[in-house]
């Protein structure tokens, strides 16, 4: 799909849960909505400017009728999506600029500001429900664990915290140790049992819920720059529980598989511009992934073209590997290959007569053959080689007749194992160290 130009830097994007509409929060304070279709066409639906200051964060309701926006103006705004109008505003919702928003349930919203303050909101009420102040630096990202009703937050102070949204306490349920790095993004994998955190140094830190939240259990390096944003794959993909999309400040949107760790490829390239945000349409279950950096355009990439092409390539590789294995099986036998120096064609020489078991028997008696048997076998080998040369010439002549340029095949022969008479081979040879004596010598004893 062609890029959607917006005219200025994009801070955050949000997709409609059921319609093909994407919302962008811009540096100028504008909130623009665009519709798109499967053919790559797009159209601007509406543009609204609740504040002259930048819009940093967006969140949309489950039904897609309301959009929440916040930013540097410290105000939390509610926008009617169907009409493109401002419905409600909470002025001075925070004492510092709001950096991120997260819709938890239909009637619960979380916001975090640059001073590390987290607030929970009920859109039906005029004030915040609770406020948490255990972080002392900016809140970078949220992740909601629906099965436990827990809100996970990452902060620039290097810690991760877990809040029980049902508890009335203003203290977190748990908080990690200082990771000695800024934590910039977070996403859940393995059905919410593990969390992946992106850091300023380009390391993915893995937290395991069963081991507690005190420290990460694994650290996965590999990204050359900071990992500013993370996103899950749609659940329809087989590897969705262990594969994530990473947006880095080097401008690369990557698909990374974890456990085992493997870079699947680059989904989108923003050049020299850092990627600030990524999201997938249809409430994370669609096939369009939107990514935005500092280049003033919204890039939409079709995941089907990325992952389904890889699946087809893997299937082709499997077919090719099967073909190679069949060829390897054929090479175990005594068939040779003839190659044309001009056309590159190949012809297989027919297999030599005699089974592998016969050859093994021949090997057993090879060292114990008498000179007469060796001489007879040599004559048989000469006859077989003549027959072999004749068969090879027949194949070469047949292929040369069928080719357009009458290519001359180069015969590459290998010394074949001789085919011997089993009756001769099964005769007990005379041992090398056998002593021949006269029976009368033992009679006198």
For 376, the 3-state DSSP assignment is helix
Q: What percent of the chain has pLDDT over 70?
A: 69
Q: Residue 23: beta bridge partners?
A: 14, 33
- Phi, psi (deg, nearest 5) at residue 238: -60, -35
Task: Pick the range with the lowest mean pLDDT from 62-66, 276-280, 315-319, 346-350.
Answer: 346-350
**Rg from Cα positions in the chain:** 37
Confidence of residue 132 (pLDDT cuts 50, 70, 90): very high
CA dihedral 277, 282, 288, 291 (to 10 degrees): -10
**pLDDT in the model for residue 305:** 86
95 φ/ψ angles, rounded to the nearest 5 degrees: -85, -10
Taking the C-alpha atoms of residue 55 and residue 21, their distance in angstroms, rounded to an integer, is: 18
The confidence score (pLDDT) of residue 424 equals: 47
Is the pTM higher than 0.95?
no
38-72, pLDDT tens digit by residue? 887 899 999 999 999 999 999 999 999 999 999 99
* Structural contact between residues 291 and 247, judged by C-beta atoms closer than 8 angstroms: yes
Query: How confident is the model over 108-120, as a mean pLDDT?
Result: 97
Whole-angstrom distance, CA of residue 246 vs CA of residue 237: 17
Largest CA distance in the chain: 129
313 vs 192, higher pLDDT: 192
How many angstroms separate the CA atoms of 303 and 235, rounded? 13
Token digits of residue 194: 């593990």
pLDDT at 285 over 60: yes
Q: Quick check: 267 pLDDT over 50?
A: yes
Q: Are 106 and 62 in contact (CB under 8 A)?
A: yes
Q: 78 versus 371: which is more confidently predicted?
A: 78
Cα 132 to chain centroid, rounded: 36
Give pLDDT tens digits for 393-442: 444 444 444 444 444 444 444 445 555 444 444 445 554 555 555 555 55
Domains and CATH numbers, the chain: 1-133 (2.130.10.10)
| Mean per-residue pLDDT over the chain, rounded | 80
Please compute the mean of the pLDDT values over residues 20-40 and round it to a whole number: 94
389 pLDDT exceeds 70? Answer: no
Reported as a pLDDT band with limits 50, 70 and 90, residue 1 is low
3-state secondary structure of 373: helix
Give the Cα separation of 396 and 324 in Å (integer). 24
CA dihedral sign, ordered 311, 314, 319, 320: positive
Q: Mean of the pLDDT values across residues 260-271? A: 93
Dump pLDDT digits (tens) for 328-365: 344 343 334 333 443 333 333 334 444 444 444 444 44
95 against 405, higher pLDDT = 95
Q: State mean pLDDT over 289-307.
A: 92
d(CA 318, CA 127): 59
Res 319 pLDDT > 50:
no
Q: Which of 66, 128, 69, 58 is nearest to 93 (CA)?
A: 128
What pLDDT score was predicted for residue 309? 59
Query: What is the rounded average pLDDT of the residues 138-151?
Result: 97
Question: Does position 239 have pLDDT exceeding 80, yes or no?
Answer: yes
Q: Is the pLDDT of residue 368 over 70?
A: no
User: Rounded distance, CA 220 to CA 14, Å?
Assistant: 28
Nearest to 198 by CA among 119, 277, 295, 145: 277
Instruction: State percent of the chain over pLDDT 90.
Output: 64
* pLDDT, tens only, 376-385: 544 544 444 4
C-alpha to C-alpha distance for 381 and 374, rounded to whole angstroms: 10
């Amino acid at each position: 799909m062609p890029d959607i130009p917006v005219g200025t830097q994009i801070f955050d994007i949000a997709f409609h849960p059921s319609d093909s509409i994407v919302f962008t929060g811009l540096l100028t304070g504008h909130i623009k909505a665009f519709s798109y279709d499967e053919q790559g066409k797009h159209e601007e639906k509406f543009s609204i400017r609740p504040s002259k200051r930048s819009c940093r964060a967006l969140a949309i309701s489950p039904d897609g009728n309301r959009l929440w926006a916040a930013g540097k103006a410290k105000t939390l705004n509610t926008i009617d999506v169907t009409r493109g109008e401002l419905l409600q505003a909470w002025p001075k919702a925070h004492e510092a600029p709001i950096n991120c928003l997260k819709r938890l349930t239909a009637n619960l919203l979380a916001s975090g500001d640059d001073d590390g303050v987290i607030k929970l909101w009920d859109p039906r009420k005029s004030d915040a429900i609770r406020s948490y102040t255990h972080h002392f630096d900016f809140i970078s990202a949220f992740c909601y664990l629906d099965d436990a009703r827990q809100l996970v937050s990452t902060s620039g102070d290097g810690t991760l915290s877990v809040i029980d949204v049902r508890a009335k306490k203003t203290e977190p349920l748990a908080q990690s140790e200082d990771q000695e790095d800024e934590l910039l993004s977070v996403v859940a994998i393995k059905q919410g049992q593990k969390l992946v955190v992106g850091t300023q140094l380009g390391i993915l830190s893995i937290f395991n819920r069963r081991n507690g939240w005190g420290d990460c259990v694994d650290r996965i390096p590999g990204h050359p720059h900071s990992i500013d944003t993370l996103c899950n794959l749609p659940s329809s993909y087989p590897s969705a529980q262990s594969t994530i999309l990473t947006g880095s400040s080097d401008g690369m949107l990557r698909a990374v598989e974890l456990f085992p760790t493997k870079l699947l490829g680059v989904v989108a390239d923003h050049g020299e511009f850092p990627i600030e945000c990524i999201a997938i349409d249809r409430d994370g279950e669609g096939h369009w992934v939107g990514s935005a950096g500092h280049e003033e355009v919204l890039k939409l990439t079709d995941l089907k073209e990325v992952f389904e092409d890889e699946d087809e390539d893997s299937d082709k590789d499997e077919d090719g590997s099967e073909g190679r294995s069949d060829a390897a099986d054929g090479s175990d036998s005594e068939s040779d290959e003839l190659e044309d120096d001009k056309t590159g064609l190949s012809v297989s020489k027919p297999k030599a007569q005699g089974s592998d078991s016969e050859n093994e028997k021949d090997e057993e008696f090879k060292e114990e053959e008498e000179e007469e048997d060796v001489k007879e076998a040599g004559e048989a080998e000469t006859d077989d080689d003549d027959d072999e040369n004749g068969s090879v010439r027949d194949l070469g002549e047949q292929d040369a007749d069928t080719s357009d340029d009458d290519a001359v095949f180069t015969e590459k022969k290998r010394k074949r194992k001789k085919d011997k008479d089993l009756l001769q081979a099964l005769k007990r040879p005379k041992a090398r160290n056998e002593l021949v004596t006269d029976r009368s010598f033992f009679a006198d004893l």
